[in-house]
Amino acid sequence: MFRRVLVANRGEIAVRIIRACRDLGVSPVTVHSEADRDSLHVRLADESFEVGGAASRDSYLDGERVIEAARAMDAEALHPGYGFLAENGDFAARCAERGLVFVGPPPEAMRRMGDKAAAREAAVQAGVPVVPGSDIVAAKDAEPAAAGIGFPLLIKAAAGGGGMGMRLVRDPSEFSDSLRAAQSEAEAAFGDARVFLERFVENPRHVEIQVFGDDFGSVVHLGERDCSIQRRNQKLLEESPSPAISPGLRAEMGEAAVRLAHGAGYRNAGTVEFLLDPEGRFYFLEMNARLQVEHPVTELVSGMDLVALQLRVAAGEPLGFAQSEVSLSGAAIELRITAEDPFAGFVPATGRIRDFRPPAGPGVRCDAGIVSGSVVSPHYDPLLAKIIVSGPDRETARKRAIRAVRETRLVGVASTLPFFERVLASAPFRSGEFDTSFVSVHWCALSRNGADGDSPARAELAPLALAAAAAELWRREGSNSNASGAPPSRWRLAGVAEAHRDRI
């Protein structure tokens, strides 16, 4: 095992990796930006190196500075976490050249999976189902190609992104008109009229398989995570097992993911993402060549520490167990607490966290990157903490999740906590019958529910809210001018005395 590992990240994931290092008896060191001097990951690490300014590109994304920091602090390995440098094959290769072990897959596997077309090709080679589609089609060949793929289908711009030049066609008779429209839109938007076709998977769930490989040719899977509660492809809540998956389908999807990882020469932790349609057909979406935000869900149903396993495998140890020894039990749900206001279109919120009290108790884990007093700056991802709950079954986990959300105190910035309270209590979530459209279909109504000022509970608590506001005004005015005539609090007097003592 390594003696010292550089954690090249920040926030909750840096804290998570530091904890795994400690559990293995490894010395964790880290890097930070100017804005993060006082952040939790810096406080918990043995040493931390300031690599640059607040903007990510000047600090956490500056591979050269990060490698220099690793050398300056004598780290033997580097764990990139997720985001930042985690899926940068060139960076991983540079680490290897400089004698630093990159905790992740080999650079070639990372590059291959990072390229959408190459990843799809790898899936086809491994016999993993992909969404039926075409290469770039000329207008004259498009109609037969469309018939082969089947309807409904999407016409997508080759140079596209963000939905520009994209057309959904349900009826074969509308195909040629839509093709012309998509081509001219693509030409106008990107100066490139080339398009390709893809079957449109209706009402899909997002289900992903955790895989793990070692240097000795072993690859296993650790079951699935259902990430269908998402907003614009950003996951908000993940759970395992998926309410939509039978043991047979789990085995089938797991084997497909393992075949793909094997074929790609994959090692360490990875995730194979699938779309799952209501008939139980699944299609390869992409492979994430790194640790996922939602890895704790798998940890709680498998009983494994995935980050420790990553470090072990990177240090050259074998996985040490076979697929048949993987035993999944119970249910787990993760909630991503982000600094976003769910009642204002999820607009990011910034500011100082005046008080943070994480939830606790049976079946509740909280991976947080913040403490009371932390500043949420506009420079980074708004993920503050993850609440992960588990129980013997989904319903127990769901009730624990509601309990955990209610117990959590987070004052100072708007967060997604109220979003989860409403989603977890809603009938469609309870039933387990939903797809990736959940948030766009249900959140509007859920957000209005009880937030309209008419709810009896809200009205009953109004005098207490008024009293709190009045008390706050008293405090603020008392501390500025003491105009209220009340003596200042003895705590404050003690604080003043303390400050003077330091000066003497």
496 contributes a contact to other proteins by CB under 8 A: no
Nearer to other proteins (CB atom), residue 14 or residue 319: 14
SS3 181: helix
Minimum Å gap between C-beta 259 and other proteins is: 29
Among 43, 406, 430, 448, which residue sits at the site for other proteins (rule: CB under 8 A)? Answer: 406
How far apart are alpha carbons 383 and 415 in whole angstroms?
9
Q: For residue 131, is it left (φ>0), alpha (ψ between -120 and 50) or beta?
A: beta
- Distance of closest approach, residue 378 Cβ to other proteins, in angstroms: 3
465 vs 463: CA distance, rounded Å: 5
Beta carbon of residue 467, minimum distance to other proteins (angstroms, whole number)? 4
Restricting to residues 305-344, which ones interact with other proteins according to CB under 8 A? Answer: 338, 340, 344
Q: Which of 473, 494, 495, 496 binds other proteins (CB under 8 A)?
A: 473
Contacts with other proteins, 62-91, as mask; x by CB under 8 A: ---------------------x--------
Alpha-carbon distance of 239 to 296, in angstroms, equals 10
Site for other proteins in 359-388 (CB under 8 A): 372, 378-382
> Catalytic: which of 290, 312, 365, 394?
290
Token reading at 474: 């008293």
DSSP string, 434-463: --TTHHHHHHHHHHHTTTSS--HHHHHHHH
| Cα(3)–Cα(259) distance, integer angstroms | 34
Q: Does 445 bind other proteins (CB under 8 A)?
A: no
Buried residues in 160-195 as b, exposed as e (16+ CB within 10 A): beeeebbbebeeeeebeebbeebbebbeebbeebbb
Pairing between strand 133-137 and 77-79? unpaired
Task: Please report whether residue 456 would count as binding other proteins according to CB under 8 A.
Answer: no
* Catalytic residue check, 290: yes
Per rule CB under 8 A, is residue 216 in the interface with other proteins?
no
**Least separation, in Å, of the C-beta of 269 and other proteins?**
20
The string of DSSP codes covering 314-370 is: HTT------GGG----SEEEEEEEESEEGGGTTEE--EE--EEE---STTEEEEES-
Contacting range for other proteins; rule: CB under 8 A; set: 85-93, 131-139, 162-170, 242-250 = 162-170
- The three-state secondary structure class of 17 is helix
Helix (H) or strand (E) holding 286: strand 282-288
Q: In the complex, what is the shortest distance from the CB of residue 500 to other proteins, in angstroms, rounded to a whole number? A: 20
**Quick one: which segment of 65-73, 253-261, 322-330, 446-454 binds other proteins (CB under 8 A)?**
446-454
Q: Which stretch binds other proteins (CB under 8 A): 116-124, 258-266, 283-291, 410-418?
A: 410-418
Kindly state whether residue 181 participates in binding other proteins, applying the rule CB under 8 A: no
Q: Which is nearer to other proteins, 83 or 241 (CB)?
A: 83
Is 12 a binding residue for other proteins by CB under 8 A? The answer is no
Q: Distance (Å, rounded) from C-alpha 402 to C-alpha 420?
A: 8
Contact 78, 100 (CB under 8 A): yes
Q: What is the C-alpha to C-alpha distance for residues 236 and 386, in angstroms, rounded to an integer?
A: 10
Task: Decide if residue 168 touches other proteins (CB under 8 A).
Answer: no
Q: Which residues contact 234 (CB under 8 A, 6 or more apart)?
A: none
Q: Which two tokens stand for residue 368?
A: 């947080």
- Give the contact letters, 93-132, x = binds to other proteins (CB under 8 A), - = no: ----------------------------------------
Interaction between residue 427 and other proteins (CB under 8 A): no
30 vs 408 by CB, closer to other proteins: 408
380: tokens are 């980074």
494 binds other proteins (CB under 8 A): no
Stretch that binds other proteins, among 89-97, 129-137, 384-392, 445-453 (CB under 8 A): 445-453
- What residues have CB less than 8 Å from 86, skipping those under 6 apart? 9, 80, 104, 290, 291
Choices 117-125, 156-164, 271-279, 284-292; region in contact with other proteins by CB under 8 A: 156-164
Using the rule CB under 8 A, is 477 a contact of other proteins?
yes
By CB under 8 A, tell whether 346 contacts other proteins. yes
Applying CB under 8 A, the span of 165-173, 204-212, 254-262, 414-422 interacting with other proteins comes to: 414-422
Q: β-pairing, 383-391 with 331-338? A: antiparallel
Measured distance CA(256)–CA(370) in Å, rounded: 38
Interface with other proteins (CB under 8 A), residue from 99, 118, 474, 496: 474
How many residues bind other proteins, per CB under 8 A? 64
Q: Which residues bind other proteins (CB under 8 A)?
A: 55, 83, 162-164, 232-234, 338, 340, 344-348, 350-351, 354-355, 372, 378-382, 406, 409-412, 418, 421-422, 450-451, 453, 455, 457-458, 461-475, 477-478, 483-484, 486-491
Would you name the residues annotated as active-site residues? 290
